[in-house]
Amino acid sequence: MHAARLTNAMTIDVEDYFQVSAFAPYIARTEWDSRECRVERNIQAILEMLSRHHTHATFFTLGWIAERYPQLVRHIVDNGHELASHGYGHQRASDQSPDVFFDDIDRAKKMLEDLSGQEVQGYRAPSFSIGKGNLWAYDTLLEAGYRYSSSIYPIAHDHYGMPDSPRFAYEVRPGLTEIPITTVRLFERNFPSSGGGYFRLLPYPVSRWLIQRVNSRDQQSGIFYFHPWEIDPGQPRIQGINRKTRFRHYVNIGQTQTRLNRLLTDFKWGRVDHLFMNQTAPLPLAA
């Protein structure tokens, strides 16, 4: 199968710059409402970029954002994109008890469905925070009515990752599919190849080669992800953060949108539900 014939999944984690997990030690949740929120303008820029490339994507959206900007949710679905859940308050699944986790993902799902009028099938854990220590989260996702998760990154990382898990989509529970973030297998190790800070750090030809390798060598569709704040070099700078966090968050942030335009040109992209759930139309809410 030629790589150009495969469609990859484009995904966006809809959160604002002050909500990233790395900033949690520096920005209290009680401060969120007083921070300048830039997600609306960034999502509008993303929607315009996707429209220019005739591309539909999946938007894993925080309930906290949807609650405050309901028109943003409507713009996403009105433009033909899939609406999925990123939980409500951007708390790591690994930091929550099963009951608290259920309340978070159930609240987000119902809110997104009420605003969109469509069933929300997918969930992505903040910071890919489902791992060996909290696999009970899958049972909770089933209980809340989700059909798929995209919460595992099969790499070794200091904040997340489960490098021994399968690299491609699999049924993790009857009725629930896990669709891992894409990696490339080299030298008996998984390497990140699907977005985020790695996309900003690596030269673009390297990122392109990694996705091409997954398409051609593995003959699999890739899962790419990014955040709205990654296309926003004008976002307020957070003071007092350590050097590692500053580098990870801001590295090459002014180049992201240009690179994304190249990526959207070089590959064919689509929604997660269309590619992995064999679904070609939005599911209406049950009566």
Phi, psi of 9 (to 5 degrees): -95, 125
What is the number of residues in the chain? Answer: 287
In sequence order, which ranges of 134-242 are alpha helices (DSSP H)?
A: 136-143, 196-201, 204-217
Instruction: Write down the domain spans for the chain.
Output: 3-276
DSSP 220: -
| 3-state percent breakdown (helix, strand, coil) of the chain, nearest 5 | 45, 15, 40
The CATH superfamily label for domain 3-276 reads Glycoside hydrolase/deacetylase (3.20.20.370)
Per-residue pLDDT band at 162 (split at 50, 70, 90)? confident
In angstroms, the CA 215 to CA 221 distance is 6
Mean pLDDT of the chain: 93
pLDDT of 73 strictly over 90 = yes
DSSP 22-66: GGTTTS-GGGGGGSPP-HHHHHHHHHHHHHHTT---EEEE-HHHH
The predicted pLDDT at position 260 comes to 98
pLDDT of 173 strictly over 50 = yes
pLDDT of 175 strictly over 70 = yes
Question: Taking each helix axis from N to C terminus, what angle separates 98-116 and 136-143, rounded to the nearest 10 degrees?
Answer: 40
- Residue 30 near residue 1 (C-beta atoms within 8 A): no
**Other residues' Cβ atoms within 10 Å of the Cβ of residue 48:** 10
